[in-house]
Amino acid sequence: MARNGNLTPKQWGSFMPVQNSIVHKGPYYYRDTECVLVDFLTDADYALSLLPSDLELYEPATAFMVIETNHWTTLGPYSEVYNGILCTYKGELYGYVPGVYVTGEASQIAGREIYGFGKKRAHRIEVITHDDGTVEAAMDVKPGDGAIRATMRPAVNEPASAVGALPLICLRVIPDVAGSDTPALAQLTSVLFKAEPIVGSDGIAEVYSGPGHMQFGCPSDAQLPIKQLLGFKYAHFNAVLPYGKVLKTYTDEEFTG
């Protein structure tokens, strides 16, 4: 006599494998994160080549790069690098994230499956403070390829508000298991990851600006053209990554029409 399995949908975990998910449900908590934030003007034509057609490029074409080490999170410790291209959707300002590099498995799974962050793995991402006071933020996609190296000197203390909270937009695409060129699901999604800079007992926020420079080695998804560097910041913060929202779900006709 045939017998059905006992694992019902009500018993499934939130992620695969459903009987023993590697990731739990959010929100996700971040403590003791170090970050180097670089603001810059980029090439408009290149930015437009990455921007989904529903989004309007903010001009002058402006972007930012985040290089951070998350020393403790409920997804485990990991580091990441991502860019945001300033754009608008229905009149609201966002940062479109064309891709992310991470060093942790759980963060890669949660980021791709929930929000649609196009996460890839990097061999090394580090934020290092040297004994001369400079801060180095570096990424190797493959060992020794020197994909990104940003260095800065934290010189001017800034208020906590200097680290703004800009909602991010991702393009979340789930392929069709039957091999169709039309995805099973395609959505524009948004999430607000708000960094809360750590404030010391003296009332000083751990946010500093200062001079810096960028260096690129092997090409990577995080390498956008830099026409003009606008500023560098170093910050030490806590944060909560909440659930986001769906801005748009694409129809089959948009792929076939």
Is the omega angle on the peptide bond into residue 27 within 30 degrees of 0, that is, cis? Answer: yes
| Domains of the chain, earliest start first | 22-256 (2.40.400.10)
Closest CA to 84 of 99, 69, 101: 99
d(Cα 85, Cα 116) in Å, to the nearest integer?
A: 16
Radius of gyration of the chain (CA): 20
Q: Do the Cβ atoms of 216 and 223 come closer than 8 Å? A: yes
- Name, in order, each residue with C-beta under 8 angstroms of 207's C-beta and a sequence gap of 6 or more: 157, 158, 159, 160, 162, 163, 197, 233, 234, 235, 236
Q: What is the pLDDT of residues 123-135, one digit of tens each?
A: 999 999 999 999 9
* Mean pLDDT for the stretch of residues 81-93: 97
* Exposure string for 57-88, b = 16+ CB within 10 A, e = fewer: bbeebbbbbbbbbbeebbbeebbbbbbbbbbe
Q: How confident is the model at residue 26 (pLDDT cuts 50, 70, 90)?
A: very high
State how far the Cα of 227 lies from the Cα of 29, in Å rounded to an integer. 35
| pLDDT surpasses 80 at 15 | yes
* Reported pTM: 0.95
Average pLDDT over the chain reads: 96
What percent of the chain has a predicted confidence (pLDDT) above 70?
Answer: 100
Structure confidence at residue 164 (pLDDT): 85
- CA–CA distance, 257 with 253 (Å, rounded to integer): 5
Helices (H) and strands (E) in the chain, counts: 3, 18
Q: What is the mean pLDDT of residues 65-93?
A: 97
